[in-house]
Structure 1
Amino acid sequence: MHENSSGSENLHNIISIDYNANFFFDRAVKSLDRYQYEKALKYFRKAVEYEPDNPVNHCNMAGILSETGDYKGSNQVLQHILEHVDASMTECYFYMANNYANMESFEEAEKALITYLEEDPSGQFMDEAEEMMELLHYELNRPTKVNKIKSREGMVEHEHARKLLEEGKFAQAVKLLEEIVADCPDFMSARNNLALAYYYMGRFAKAKESIQGVLDVEPGNLHALCNLAIFFQHENNEEELSMLVDMLSVTVPFHQEHVFKLATTMGILGKHEAAYGHFRRLLKDEEFSSDASLYHYTAAAACNSGRMDAAAKYWRHCRKLDPTNDVPDFYLAQLGPLQNSGAESMKVSYHYHLPFEEQFKAWEHHGEAMTEEAKHNPLIRSSFFWALRHGEPHIKLQVIQTLELIADEEVQHALQLFLQEPGEDAELKDAARLVLMRLEGHSGGHSDRDNSAQHRGILPEWHDDWQQVLNTVFQCMDKRSDPFRKREIGNLWSAFLSRIYPNIPKMRNIPGWAAALDYTAAKIRGGSSTYEQMAERYGISSSTVRRYARQMDVMRADPEDNRSDFRPFTEKV
């Protein structure tokens, strides 16, 4: 009896084994650690039996088959995963490409690799895929043709848009960036640069909306926070700006691009001490130590924060790195007398070019050479377009006169947009009109139809009802206005549609919109037209003219002026 009792107790102490997928998975991993591939394969197959819908176990089985040289069997498993288990496991195509390459089936390897690149959203094996493309190029004696790389979707287009921004081609950049963001809403760099593009065009509400969209997804996105700080400064929103600057002031970025963004932002905000610290940190990096422009930025921050000797040192080094540039010599010449007089600081622009007054002096002495440089130097062109929007009146006049020397399509577009800016000085607009008329005369002139077609590039498409509004205005203007006036009306209409895009209403009342356009153009020009006069001209009621003209008030609202001399930098990927 005692022995039976003891045996019964021992039976109660036995722990039953729960045979499930995890059990066999653990056994398989232990076998792999001991290089027992046959055992590991057997255990992974058992795991698949218990969980046939788990793609991980299938992948592990395919991996072991590949490891043991059964490339064909491995590919059969991988194909089964894609067809019957989980089609989203696009990395299987990369594994299959490896197997085909090991089988020396290079054509099949290429097909699988192309499918991986075109369908995989994460790009987990991008480096390995690029190495395999080099191998296939060698084996097949031709490059691998890939139509698109899904994990890098939008990156080439984004780089092009970023260059357009830096060249001052804001309307083109907006159009391209809007397309990128529509296709890739998680592309935060594109959304940040779209906000900057809106900002440069004066579409401040859209700029903030775009930045807020980034921060809703990534509250700590440094580029977005820096851009938001600049927008707050533009709005004179002191309370919000102060809180944000306090946060940015204690931020120490790790990535060099973030350091550069924060440094430039602090310079724009007038926090020159902080900007100086960040720029000096960048100079310690070998990657940036030969960048002459960075030495100028550091010198400017030093000068603006009262470090005159340090500023002189950095400008001397800038001159050594870039001996043909006049910028360091100009500021060193300015700095000498100030140091002798005991001045504590000097306000210096962070832009790495001569102040506009000095550029124009250089133009007087070296006009042809300077014109050629401006035609091909994006930084100079960009600075001119920026000054046209934000410079002092006398600077704007000089820019307008200088742009006539450059005389290309981008210049004409910039001047046309300038004419639509509310609140600009009438004499400046007259000067811009005169330059435009001369440029149009040199190019042989355009018909009204050509003029309206030129504006369409600002918008992603041009609807028939929009053109009908223009045609209605032109018909009423035929006997009372010159061709240039029609072009001005076309520019105004295009600018209005661009500013409210994509929330453009259906143009059901063509005469109403035409009257509103005519009325708004007259007011911007300084005319004395009334609702009643427009109502009589277009055969509608004065209340209808008033209703539609109010919707066009966006063209006559005085924007706040931003005099910052240092533009926010675009974000790279």
Structure 2
Amino acid sequence: MKKQHADACSKGHKVVRLRLDAGFFFERAVRSLDRHRYDKALKYFRLAVEKEPDNPVNQCNLAGILSEMGCFDESNEVLEKVLTEVDPDLSECWFYMANNAANMDEFELAEEYLIRYLEEEREGEFAAEAEDMLEMLAYELGRQPRQPKARPKQDWMKKHDEARECLESGRFLQAMEILEELLEEHPDFHAVMNNLSLAYYYTGDVDQAVETIERVLVSDPGNLHALCNLAVFFQHLKERKSRDRLVGILKKWIPFHPEHMYKLATTLGILGEHEDAFAMFRRLIKREERPEASLYHYAAVAAFNTKSFARARKYWQLARELDPDSKIPVFYLNQLEQWESLPPEQVPPVSYHYQLPFEEQLMQLDRERSTIPEQIRQNPLIRSSFFWALNHGDKETKLQVLQVFEWLGDKEVEQVLRSFLLKRDEEDDLKRLALYILKKIGAAEPYRVVLGSREMTIHPYELAQELPGWLKTWEQVLQCCLEAMKGRYDTAHLNDAQLIWSEFLREHRADFPEIRKVEGWAAALEYIVARLHGSSLTQESVAKRHAVSASTVGRNVRCLEKVCRVNKGFEPHT
């Protein structure tokens, strides 16, 4: 045997050395768990802990498998060690210890652990289960359940909660202000830095996001949220080597807790590691008692992006059953029918966000102007896609986003537009449109803007001079039409004139026709409104009143009629 081994080596065969690190043993442990080989899983978890004794995840997983095997006392010893030596802030250990104590019929001790957990994590992941357990223990002990002492939240905790609510509701700039203030007061608060980096990223400031997240990793190199976020940032910046290095680290990381699994799975998907993402999403679905529609969507996307269309269809169908009012699963199931017929190289990748694609959102905004903006106000992912597009899209996309901002018109939009006006690398035409929208949504004047590489303040009386030429002409057409209609038509007619002309502008924002004679368009607009309300006005008579030819009016009417035909919502007001 020795001779054969020597011969093999002499012939140039390479010996692949296994890297027996904590990640290796951790992966083996999880595989053993999947096969219900608890003895082997325990052995590998112990080895993982030996390799990285300061890693609380490894310790908690060891405690978990000990509990599964009925070694409740030893499991609690491990959890106590985590709290005393590894990570005193890992409050969920108290909850795990309570479960172990209850399994050993030590009900009063279990109660103590639950009280401790709820006092530290009143709104924690296991708070509801902890309260149910307190009820059960009280029944076993024959008395009323104990209540945890209410600990008033410190001001910094309230601020952090407020910032998280802002992030979750799409108010990124407001979240940024709160988090920056918190960071000045608590410079080592990792959760604040992680959330602040996301706020920067959502608003398009990727460099600042990277700088902030790297501060976390200097003091906590194993922070999973920071590693995941940084990998996504590097991918956006096209820093391939840094991105690949982090992907290598993340692929070895097999988290045991659902929150970490979600974070890692979605990150791997965003990074294009779809096979690994799919395996983790599928494991999550098996673990969850009642998976959410979004989890089925993530699994469908991962399957789709690996060209496993049958599996993708299955998971989108499950998402549709669970969330029948959502347009998202229906949209992707319909698209799947088209995508399956394409050559593989023409099949587009699908985003992991549980939302419609950005282009589809814009199309729906066109179709359903009265309802979609409210949905955007409530959906941070959709709002962030618009903020991102304004920073990184092409000119046409930015024009579309500015139109959306005019519909939204809230404080967050105002802040974004004011910031946009001061960017030196944006085109002046876009900034002039942003100025116009700020005025339309009622933002307080004056406005600071960089035009022609010069920063200036625009006062109300100067604003008209700074509007794009086509916008100035548009204002003149509408004003001319409304002046001519006053006294002849009622308010409903005047409102329809403004609505039709605004829609005409929106339809032609990329190729607005040259308006040689304002009166010709004003006459055509008046004629269209009159006809919508059943008037017998002729093109000749309206042309005569505006001192233009009937042929000019007829040509412009044909353009305006296209808007009315395409948008069926234009009905005469009564």
TM-score calculated relative to the size of structure 1: 0.50
Task: Report the equivalent of 2:152.
Answer: 148
- Give the alignment of 1:395-544 within 5 angstroms: 395-440=397-442, 446-448=444-446, 482=462
- Give the alignment of 1:302-321 within 5 angstroms: 302-321=303-322
Change in 2 beyond 3 A, CA 1:206/1:326: closer
- Higher Rg of the two aligned structures: 1
One-letter code aligned to 1:293: S
Q: Distance in 2 between matches of 1:397 and 1:327?
A: 25
Task: Report the equivalent of 2:552.
Answer: none
Change in 2 beyond 3 A, CA 1:248/1:144: closer
One-letter code aligned to 1:327: I
Q: CA deviation at 1:318?
A: 0.9
Change in 2 beyond 3 A, CA 1:234/1:485: farther
Task: Report the equivalent of 1:323.
Answer: 324
Change in 2 beyond 3 A, CA 1:356/1:231: closer
Q: Distance in 1 between matches of 2:204 and 2:375?
A: 28
Q: Distance in 1 between matches of 2:458 and 2:332?
A: 55
Change in 2 beyond 3 A, CA 1:217/1:479: closer
- Kept in 1: contact 2:175–2:199 (CA 8 A): yes
Q: CA deviation at 1:219?
A: 1.2
Q: CA deviation at 1:203?
A: 4.4
Q: CA deviation at 1:486?
A: 11
Task: Report the equivalent of 1:293.
Answer: 294
Q: Distance in 1 between matches of 2:372 and 2:282?
A: 32
- Kept in 2: contact 1:437–1:484 (CA 8 A): no
- Give the alignment of 1:62-461 within 5 angstroms: 148-149=152-153, 154-286=156-288, 289=291, 291-341=292-342, 343=344, 345-440=347-442, 446-448=444-446
- Kept in 1: contact 2:268–2:276 (CA 8 A): yes
- Give the alignment of 1:534-573 within 5 angstroms: none
Q: Distance in 2 between matches of 1:356 and 1:480?
A: 34
1:101-132 per-residue CA deviation (whole Å, 9 max, x = no partner) reads: xxxxxxxxxxxx9xxx89xxxxxxxx99xx9x
- Kept in 2: contact 1:292–1:318 (CA 8 A): yes
SS in 1 for 2:340: helix
SS in 2 for 1:482: helix
- Kept in 2: contact 1:280–1:298 (CA 8 A): yes
Q: Distance in 1 between matches of 2:189 and 2:301?
A: 33
Q: Distance in 1 between matches of 2:331 and 2:460?
A: 52
SS in 2 for 1:349: coil
Task: Report the equivalent of 1:459.
Answer: none
SS in 2 for 1:387: helix
Q: Distance in 1 between matches of 2:394 and 2:312?
A: 27
Q: Distance in 2 between matches of 1:485 and 1:269?
A: 46
- Kept in 1: contact 2:232–2:267 (CA 8 A): yes
Q: CA deviation at 1:222?
A: 0.7
Change in 2 beyond 3 A, CA 1:312/1:391: farther
Change in 2 beyond 3 A, CA 1:393/1:339: same
Q: CA deviation at 1:228?
A: 1.7
Q: CA deviation at 1:298?
A: 1.6
Q: CA deviation at 1:341?
A: 4.8
Q: Which has the higher contact order (CA 8 A, sep 6+)?
A: 1
Q: Distance in 2 between matches of 1:205 and 1:157?
A: 25
Task: Report the equivalent of 2:548.
Answer: none
- Gap regions ≥5 residues in structure 1: 1-112, 119-126, 136-142, 456-472, 488-573
Change in 2 beyond 3 A, CA 1:297/1:162: same
Q: CA deviation at 1:295?
A: 1.4
Change in 2 beyond 3 A, CA 1:216/1:485: farther
Over the matched positions of the two proteins, sequence identity in percent amounts to 44
Change in 2 beyond 3 A, CA 1:359/1:209: closer
Change in 2 beyond 3 A, CA 1:293/1:178: same
In the alignment of these two chains, the number of paired residues is 329
Q: Distance in 2 between matches of 1:288 and 1:430?
A: 50
Q: Distance in 1 between matches of 2:305 and 2:172?
A: 30
SS in 2 for 1:367: coil
Change in 2 beyond 3 A, CA 1:438/1:327: same
Change in 2 beyond 3 A, CA 1:264/1:177: same
One-letter code aligned to 2:297: H
Q: Distance in 1 between matches of 2:342 and 2:445?
A: 61
Q: Distance in 2 between matches of 1:213 and 1:191?
A: 8
Q: CA deviation at 1:424?
A: 2.8
- Gap regions ≥5 residues in structure 2: 1-114, 121-129, 139-146, 468-574
